[in-house]
Chains A and B, each alone.
Chain A
Amino acid sequence: MIDEEKTWSVGGFLDHLNNILKSEEVFVVGEVTELKKHPTGFYFALKDQEGEGILFCYLSPRKAKMFGIDFEDGFLVKVGGSPGIYKPRGSFSFVVESLELVGEGSLKKTYELLKKKLETEGLFMRKRELPKFINSVGIITSKTGAVIDDFRKNLKQLGLHLCLYDARVEGREAVANIMAGIDYFNGFPEGTFDVLVVMRGGGSLEDLQAFNNEAVARKVFSSRIPVLCGIGHDKDVPIASLVCDKAVSTPSIAAQTVNASWDDLFSGVPLLSKKLSFAFESALGEAAGTLENLSQPLLGFLFSEIERVKARLEYFLKYLNAANPMRNLKLGYSVVFGNGEKIIKDARLLKKHDKITIKLFKGLIGGKVTDIIDE
């Protein structure tokens, strides 16, 4: 009996091997060496810092751009992907699907290089004013954890519309998530969102890699909606915070910044209200003063007229008093009536035996003329 041996073509066998090799995603940490940046991709090898292992890697240009990491020989990186055999050459290589820097040294160097590069390009200069009366906020952070809770707790209840794009802020997915979040909110019509708030709690350079990433930094810069970053950090300010329009270091300060956009209303209205009240009171006071000033001469004229009339009245009263016949009667004078009750002023108007009446101050006397004495 002849064993039926399975025989392969070269290509078929390589395909078979590749199927086996690509069945699971693996992660490898190593130091970058022999890096060649070519239009068709990045070619480099990873080696252990101690020992003899070496792994050839391939990173596509599309992935390289998406990772936004500018690495060099000597950098310690963690790559994720799958191994395979490149059929035309029969060479074994590792196809990189994810890449993260590992180790403070690599991270710090990348940070400094990127900072210098973007600074030179002027990406740190443009700072747009956050709008007044922020009403709708697009938030990019993790839905779990203290960050979103702190942010919400410190926001005033202003009837704000808060939309959270749940993004990983650490690890392999962080860069893609953050960028997708920025794209998501910018995809709505202008004016739908007033501000984007990108937040993360503090951490080491390794923890904050996604925020020191070139692709993320450029995405933040390209956002049509102003970006407020609330990313905690120790010494090195995250690149995203340097690029954004307004940077604070905690979610609570980010919330206070949103609240502050309403300051014109909360402090302005009471202040203007007081000013208006004071201004009107002053105006009324001034009007009253003006009225008093205008009335002074008029009042003076009126008072002098009154005095003049009063003096005239007093004169007339005195005159009338002097002319009053009763006053003379009181003094002892009397009035004689005769000839039909006429006042007799001349003795020649009477004859002997004419009846006369004499009016005294008190009472009347009747009598007869007994004699006429002509003077």
Chain B
Amino acid sequence: MNSMPTKDKKEKKEMSEELNKLQKIVEWFEEREEVDVEEGLAKVKEGAAIIKDLKSRMKDVENEFEIVKKNLKD
């Protein structure tokens, strides 16, 4: 059996969840008329951590390529 993908749905789900979290933090700021500075700072810190993590996934990582099966008659 050829090696199969090791990255699973969990990582993709986490990425989607993190993007959602980030979106919600931005919305939190946009929806408030007055922002509690301390609470806002905590939100920004949380957002910055998410951005850092997501940016690390934007770095170039070489694609893996394999031929899993030759044609039927080979």
Chain A residues engaging chain B, CB cutoff 8 angstroms: 131-133, 135-136, 143, 152, 155-168, 173, 176-177, 180-181, 184, 188, 191-193, 264-266, 268-269, 272-273, 275-276, 279-280, 282-284, 286-287, 290
Contacts and interface: CB of A to CB of B under 8 A. Distances in A.
Interface string B60-74: 111111111111111
Query: Size band of the B side of the interface?
Result: 35 or more
A165 B69 contact: yes
B55 to A, nearest CB: 6
Interface string B38-70: 001101100110010011011011111111111
Contact of B5 (A135, A181, A265, A287): A135
A53 to B, nearest CB: 31
Contacts of B22: 268-269, 272, 276
Given A157-B62, A160-B63, A265-B54, 19 more contacts: A131-B12, A132-B12, A135-B12, A157-B60, A157-B61, A159-B7, A159-B63, A161-B4, A161-B64, A162-B66, A164-B68, A176-B72, A191-B8, A192-B4, A266-B58, A269-B54, A269-B55, A272-B22, A279-B26
B58 A269 contact: yes
B51 A164 contact: no
A235 B47 CA distance: 50
Given A173-B73, A192-B5, A283 B37 contact: yes
Contacts of B30: 275, 279
Given A191-B9, A192-B5, A265 B44 contact: no
B40 to A, nearest CB: 5
A273 B51 contact: yes
Interface of chain B, main secondary structure: mixed
Contact of A268 (B11, B19, B69): B19
Given A131-B12, A191-B9, A265-B19, A280 B69 contact: no
Contact of A269 (B16, B37, B51, B67): B51
A276 B72 contact: no
Given A133-B15, A164-B65, A272 B71 contact: no
A283 B12 contact: no
Enumerate the 7 nearest inter-chain pairs by beta-carbon distance, A residue then B residue, closest first: A159-B61, A279-B29, A136-B5, A283-B35, A161-B5, A157-B60, A160-B63
B16 A287 contact: no
A287 B7 CA distance: 45
Contact of A265 (B35, B57, B64): B57
Nearest to B62: A157
Nearest to B35: A283
Given A279-B30, A283-B29, A290-B34, A159 B5 contact: no
B29 A276 contact: yes
27 contacts: A133-B15, A135-B11, A136-B5, A143-B67, A152-B65, A159-B61, A161-B5, A161-B7, A161-B63, A162-B64, A164-B66, A164-B68, A165-B68, A173-B71, A177-B71, A177-B72, A192-B5, A265-B58, A269-B51, A275-B30, A276-B26, A276-B47, A276-B51, A280-B41, A283-B35, A284-B40, A286-B35
A287 B37 contact: yes
A350 B4 CA distance: 127
A266 B19 CA distance: 11
Contacts of A286: 34-35
Contacts of B19: 264-265, 268-269, 272
